[in-house]
Chain A
């Protein structure tokens, strides 16, 4: 199942946030969205997930979601969004209950996703007992439990410290290699984008519009030690963004 964005524009009250976004998310690929703070990345992701509606344009699902897919478009949030009053197990079963998956069937799915995210021992821990990295792995496990056609990830690693971030990036790559998934991955960390993205969409400052789309063909598994080509792409992206960042740092926020 592919996703296509057609002519998406959006304003909140008087603030124009996005302007004329057209893009495709091909099946089995990770598309990274990068851009300066406040340019509308999260907003765009909410449109794709159907949590909000753009004032103009539309988001299309092309093709049907694969068999057994409970929630085709599934989010992984930056702040994990775990229910603090439910255990790891409970947080995952939450999203199965509404699909009438309970008992043994639910157990099997939960055990499977916990194993894939290396959390099997922590099924009964409460969120407050988990470190940030573990919390995000629970959020990823929960997303995997509904067998998504597309994962929508909004800066999933930016709340973590850099070591944990590196570990989770490796984990995501392993997961993808074992079974390629489709994802839209929002980040403002260019290294992350270059490490994970098959396609990197660079947005301009607000109102966000597409400034450039960078394709990276090198397989994910081979990007470990930054090669010259990757380094060049990184530098290119950085040049694209530096001016925007500088300008943003000289502006008062809406009073």
Chain B
């Protein structure tokens, strides 16, 4: 009989790899009985991996994740979402007011208010890297919740933000904000999210971890074929994803959001170590995590192909 495991997920398209693998039975084929645990935010999910309540999950690298790795609780074992040239990725936004005041490109945000959820979040990282590249200063405003940021940018209380395309595009479409740049211009191979698990699983449950990654990779392949490469039926894939994302909207209103949210998921869960190292160094330079933490404490490179090294 199959081994029962728990997989943590947020109801975002970026988690589609797991959804597809589950729906199409790839996990079952790999000998796993997967049960999803859904979260409202990434941070409790990371803690749940650390506490052993959840076995595997996909999330952005954050200061919290690094801290948990530092405490010996978790390991990054693979890559998931990444920026890729030619695929619509995360966007820099300017509020209507800022745009009208002359903010047409990211570099015009000099001295302006840039929204982040928290210090050490991926938003903070993207803004900070962009500012460094442009040689400008940003004022980071922590607003905790995506909803609060949307409210703030719509009412012109913050000037800039960076966010995934399926949120960026409808916002721009409604005329409340303007897209002024792509994150990939500044962070070309940005490893946005990674697959991670508890240190215990990574070290002592090799078989199970490999099975998970195998199933997950198959899901990713199907997703990419349907949504990016156009070699499989997109409608069927949208139907599948709609079971998990935007469930309370009718199919026809959910579909554009799902399609807009399409981004590259690393094939074979390959992990871009250079990007991860860059993120870690940034956290350390910002004093958000302990300066002594090494990349070895954060990742276990023994499971997947390592790229960008």
Q: Do any beta carbons of A and B sit within 8 angstroms of each other in the complex?
A: no
User: Contact residues of B with A, CB < 8 Å?
Assistant: none
User: Contact residues of A with B, CB < 8 Å?
Assistant: none
